Copies of this chain bind each other. A is one copy, B any other.
Amino acid sequence: MQKKDIPASVLARLPRYYRYARELFGNDVLRISSTELAAMMDVTASQIRQDLSHIGQFGQQGYGYNIKDLYSGLGEVLGLTDGFSVVIIGMSEQGAALAVSPMFTYRGIKLRGLFDYDASIGREINGLTVMPIFTLKDFCAENIIDIAVLCVPKEQAAEACAMAINASISAIWNLTGEELRPDRASENVIIQNLNLSDRFFALCASLNQAKEAVKKHEL
């Protein structure tokens, strides 16, 4: 099983493959060809073959992928067997919504703590009491925390990120909308920015393209 040096672009696509493998496994499908999977997922068969070649060998040429092996192999690469522990920093509406989402309560992920600057401290959400952010470091000294999810307002993103790094958290999922750029302090920390507005405006761009095409057609 080769698992090192998988390009970030491929890693980003693996969760979707994992979902499809899980669905197929749940439906008792034993094997699937890259062509069949490509049709289901609306990507090319060659992309599938290339992407999955980074993970390992899950089938014999001409026989398709072994679904069970693919499913467990992908789960392993995604770290689902490790049971990563998570804290959410920032109990904005978005942070509170994530705290009750099923996302952090299945497939081995453990939501361990909720932190905020002031407004929500003491509030109970999903069985966890919101703690003041200045206690994060002590909390992380007593609990192994792998990932911090940042949901603070943009203006506090850099500070909250620094506090997470200072608490020895290894990975940061930044949903604040403020882009965090890697620097010296964070060189051994994995930072992933997910900018929801960017994703929404990408949809706007597609819609705009489609409207322009219609306009041209009508002229």
A residues with CB within 8 A of B: 3-6, 8, 11-12, 14-16, 18-19, 42, 77-80, 82, 84, 92-94, 96-97, 100-101, 103, 107, 109, 146-147, 170-171, 173, 179, 181-182, 190, 192, 194-213, 216
Contact = CB atoms under 8 A, between A and B. Distances in A.
Given A93-B96, A96-B97, A97-B92, A103 B206 contact: no
17 contacts: A4-B212, A6-B209, A19-B179, A19-B198, A77-B208, A78-B201, A79-B207, A82-B211, A93-B93, A93-B96, A94-B94, A103-B197, A107-B201, A109-B204, A171-B206, A173-B200, A173-B203
Contacts of A203: 147, 171, 173, 190, 192
B197 A79 contact: no
B213 A4 contact: yes
B192 A202 contact: yes
B3 A201 contact: no
B15 A198 contact: yes
B205 A77 contact: yes
Assembly of this chain: how many copies? 2
B211 A11 contact: no
Given A78-B201, A203-B190, A196 B103 contact: yes
A59 B136 CA distance: 48
A212 to B, nearest CB: 6
Given A173-B200, A197-B103, A201-B78, A11 B192 contact: no
Given A170-B211, A190-B210, 6 more contacts: A8-B206, A15-B195, A96-B97, A170-B207, A170-B210, A173-B199
A103 B96 CA distance: 17
A96 to B, nearest CB: 6
A32 B134 CA distance: 40
Given A203-B171, A208-B79, A15 B197 contact: yes
A79 B205 contact: yes
Contacts of A77: 205, 208-209
Contact of A205 (B15, B205, B207): B15
